[in-house]
Amino acid sequence: MPALTTTSDGFLLHGEPFRIISGALHYFRVHPDLWSDRLRKARLMGLNTVETYIPWNHHQPDPDGPLVLDGLLDLPRFLGLARDEGLHMLLRPGPFICAEWDGGGLPDWLTGDPDIRLRSSDPRFTGAVDRYFDLLLPALRPHLAAAGGPVIAVQVENEYGAYGDDSAYLKHLADAFRSRGVEELLFTCDQADPEHLASGTLPGVLAASTFGSRVEQSLARLREHRREGPLFCAEFWIGWFDHWGGPHHVRDAADAAADLDRLLSAGASVNLYMFHGGTNFGFTNGANHKHAYTPTITSYDYDAALTECGDPGPKYHAFREVIARHASVPDEPVPAPGPKLPPTEVELSGRAALMPLAGAPVRADVPLTMDALGQRTGYALYRTTLPAGGDGLLHFAGGVGDRALVFVDGAPAGVLERERHDETLPVRVPRPGATLEVLVENMGGVNYGPRIGAPKGLLGPVSFDGTALRDWDCHPLPLDDLDAVPFAPAGETAVTVPAFHRGTFEVDAPADAFLALPGWTKGQAWVNGFHLGRYWNRGPQRTLYVPGPVLRPGSNELVLLELHGTTAARAQLTDTPDLGPENTW
């Protein structure tokens, strides 16, 4: 008997009436030293439950390797901390999670095989899922309510009705949980649309919905689909995510709180998406691709109740007030904003060229995709010789995945972007036999819709003025280890782009900070080896979040990879985030 059961219009927990008042918090988007702080703040806002996805691609990077469960991925520790805080947990293990996460959480070793029908009952897909669940479930079982843990429900797939209608696949997943000892309540979640609900739900499995507004209408649609059972909004969108080049989306706190009040007044259960968004650290962000490719930014602030750095924002206070009208909230002080580092300037006086760090090449007649090179995130460098000189057109058949910097004899010659559907670039070649280099950046794997798993790198043959270019050296450049970067004082190195820049700064008491890079163009940032993520002056975000725990008392190191060029040799750590011009929805 599961701990959480359903009645004709609600939930019982251990036999007592219960309403889920939950908020989403992705452990993999928050520094692990800050998990307990965020969970405590969830409880203090009045939440009784926290929800998280589980990103398959990071937990199982190698199909034959063990499950990765440490650092940012130490899910058992996160679940233990939630239990210590007295919170229940909802788990959403996918296998597909969407979530603006690279590839929607599907591993590249799976999506790289074009023959596999993803998210279907194709045995090549379900077989891989089964092997993953064989590893995952033993790690989760001690944390299920049946074993005294905090997990009271588990989601099957994610908004499947927006993607497919293979109910045998959904049934396979539900059976996969049951046969591996999950007794807890199972649920599906789908957008509040009759067709989505029809395709994405399963008999005997609770149907929940996702929406951000039109509360009564959305609940009515869910009720039309299921005449009985609890009404549960499994994702109540209280903010939204941002794309590079777009605005910073915000939602008025009073408007979101009024809708939360409507939901709770209707007797529904809710999971706020997001309670705390966190950050797409490193190369973890996803992308959308409807008519054009649009990658998600580094911040996943989401205009959530807790800001990216974990401070209570306007919604925290507004939601706490609403929740107090419907349930008891802890009689404890509302948390104050955390301390911030005093503004600090960082002089970046060390330099190292990027290109020499490219790994050993694979020789190929036509460029290999990054996937074929066995590398999914980061960059790849392609090098060949241009047989003829003069003005001409480079043609990249199939475009680039996702942004390519072109160099002729080491000089920047232009940029191609998947976002703009670029396939050609006019270049001037100074001499026959000039070297062509193409540095391609993976800007994030599509996480929604049919283009999940779209390849990265150079995507097809390249020609110059109609002549096919052959004999490519294809170098992986994953940038997963910077220890070997041979920094030298700026004055002793030739000015090259792209280049690494290094500086040190002193810290008295570690605290959260925000890295501002005025004068810099586009690249990556690391503090003390922790990969903060991508920066880009295209915006909207103008600062990157630096979690306090990555800093240490004394000397600290900032490394930037700048792809284009900089007018400054310094960076700033500020005490205020700047996520760019706002657009209210």
**Residue 122 burial by Cβ neighbours in a 10 Å radius (0-12, 13-18, 19+):** middle
Provide the Cα torsion 185, 189, 194, 198; round to 10°. Answer: -60
Number of neighbours of residue 127 by Cβ within 10 angstroms: 11
Closest approach of Cβ 48 to ligand GLA, in Å?
22
Q: Which two tokens stand for residue 6?
A: 């359903």
Which entry of 235, 419, 437, 441 is annotated as an active-site residue?
235
Nearer to ligand GLA, 467 or 583 (CB): 583
Collapsing DSSP to helix, strand or coil, 173 comes out as helix
Nearer to ligand GLA, 85 or 159 (CB): 159
Contact 83, 57 (CB under 8 A): no
**SS3 letters across 181-235:** CCCCEEEEEEECCHHHHHHHCCCCCEEEEEECCCHHHHHHHHHHHCCCCCCEEEE
Closest approach of Cβ 250 to ligand GLA, in Å?
14
Closest approach of Cβ 156 to ligand GLA, in Å?
13
Nearer to ligand GLA, 271 or 574 (CB): 271
| 423 annotated active-site | no
| 159 annotated active-site | yes
Q: At what angle do helices 75-84 and 35-45 cross, to 10 degrees?
A: 40
Closest approach of Cβ 232 to ligand GLA, in Å?
14
Cα-based distances in Å from 506 to 48, 461, 489, 573: 41, 49, 19, 11
Site of interaction with ligand GLA (CB under 6 A):
98-100, 158-159, 210, 235, 241
Closest approach of Cβ 97 to ligand GLA, in Å?
6
Distance CA 412, CA 580 (A): 29
Which entry of 51, 157, 159, 184 is annotated as an active-site residue?
159
Distance CA 446, CA 150 (A): 32
Nearer to ligand GLA, 289 or 340 (CB): 289
Nearer to ligand GLA, 102 or 159 (CB): 159
Nearer to ligand GLA, 241 or 500 (CB): 241
Closest approach of Cβ 198 to ligand GLA, in Å?
18
Nearer to ligand GLA, 163 or 319 (CB): 163
Which is nearest to 402 in space by CA: 292, 298, 531? 292
Nearer to ligand GLA, 27 or 241 (CB): 241
Tell me 65's DSSP state: S
Contact 119, 125 (CB under 8 A): yes
Which is nearest to 423 in space by CA: 461, 387, 452? 461
Residue 548, phi then psi, degrees to nearest 5? -50, -40
Q: Give DSSP secondary structure letters for 93-118.
A: --S---TTBGGGG--HHHHT-TTS-T
Closest approach of Cβ 34 to ligand GLA, in Å?
22
Closest approach of Cβ 237 to ligand GLA, in Å?
6
Query: Half-sphere exposure of 554 toward its Cβ, with a 13 Å CA cutoff?
Result: 2
Q: Give DSSP secondary structure letters for 446-491.
A: E-SSTTTT---EE-S-EEETTEEP--EEEEEE-----TT---EEGG
Distance CA 381, CA 371 (A): 13
Task: Name beta bridge partners: 396.
Answer: 462
Closest approach of Cβ 192 to ligand GLA, in Å?
11
Give 16's contacts (C-beta < 8 A, 6+ positions apart).
none
Nearer to ligand GLA, 91 or 416 (CB): 91
Q: Which residue lies nearest ligand GLA, judged by its C-beta?
A: 98
Active site residues: 159, 235
